[in-house]
Amino acid sequence: MDATVLITVGVTGLIVAMFSVAVGGTALIMIPLLIGLGVDAKVAIASNKFATLFLSSVGAMILLRGTTLPYRRWVYAHSIPVIVGSLIGAVVVVKTPNQGLRILIAVATLVIASVLLVKPSIGLGMAEVSLRRRRLMASLVVFLPLSVYGGIFTGGYATLLTYAFVLLLGFGFLEGAAATRLMSVFSTGATSLLFGSYGLIDYRIGLTLAATYSVGAFVGARLALRHGSPWIRKLLIVTAILLAVRILIAEIYTLCLN
């Protein structure tokens, strides 16, 4: 792999990370780019996952420092289904990748984005939500399949986790983005260990992206704190729709070819 490829990957990673630290979607740009540059699909997923660990760590530190995370112990409890689900998804990547999940996630994203457009007040501040055991158990259950998808592809995974924190636990988008980045540290850390054990991480790509992701995450997180929930909300809705439409178009095109 020559220097031009690494520079292309690094510059793109810097730009993408500035936005994805708050709204997610890094993988939907970086993984197709890597594959287009001749990188094996599994290696592309694994290397991007490794780099995202750094993005998530930087983003989590800044966002958590600049906002108060509500129900902290319950947020940490969600790390259990996140880790378990992510490892299951990573095993699927190693053994049998599943394209059908992309369509399901795309449809779910469009549905949730539509709800947010219909109810514009959702996520602009902390909602008065009674955290009863039933609601908490529901959120824990929801995080497991979402994290299985996150372990497989990760495209839009952070977006969906933020939705879950907003809709199920009543978080504002800023608090949801902070909690999501914290969960992403657990997810990417676990799957990076598994992918590394299979020798799927290209560390030239991974470390290049790790450096540019870290810088982009720092800038993006600072912007998120400065502009607050309304700014993140607008980016989140637009990003969700674009990501969902892109996935559906790609999958329909693939089905037509077959």
- Pick from 53, 23, 64: nearest CA to 173: 23
Structural domain total, the chain:
1
In 10 A of CB 107, how many CB atoms?
A: 13
Q: What CA–CA distance (Å, rounded) separates 49 from 252?
A: 26
Rounded-to-integer distance, Cα 58 and Cα 209, Å: 13
Mention every residue, 6+ apart, whose C-beta is less than 8 A from residue 169.
70, 71, 74, 129, 131, 135, 136, 139
Q: Is residue 30 within 8 Å of 229, Cβ to Cβ?
A: no
Range of the domain at 118: 3-257
pLDDT in tens, the chain (258 residues): 678 888 999 998 898 888 777 667 778 778 888 888 888 888 988 999 999 999 999 989 988 888 877 778 888 999 999 999 999 999 998 887 656 656 665 676 677 667 656 665 555 555 555 556 677 788 888 999 999 988 987 777 888 888 888 888 888 888 888 899 999 999 999 999 999 999 999 999 999 999 999 998 888 888 777 766 566 666 666 766 776 787 788 778 777 876
DSSP state of 205: H
- Give the span between the Cα atoms of 169 and 174, in whole angstroms: 13
SS (H, E, C) 118-150: HCCCCCCCCCCCCCCHHHHHHHHHHHHHHHHHH
> Residue 251: what are its φ and ψ, rounded to 5°?
-70, -40
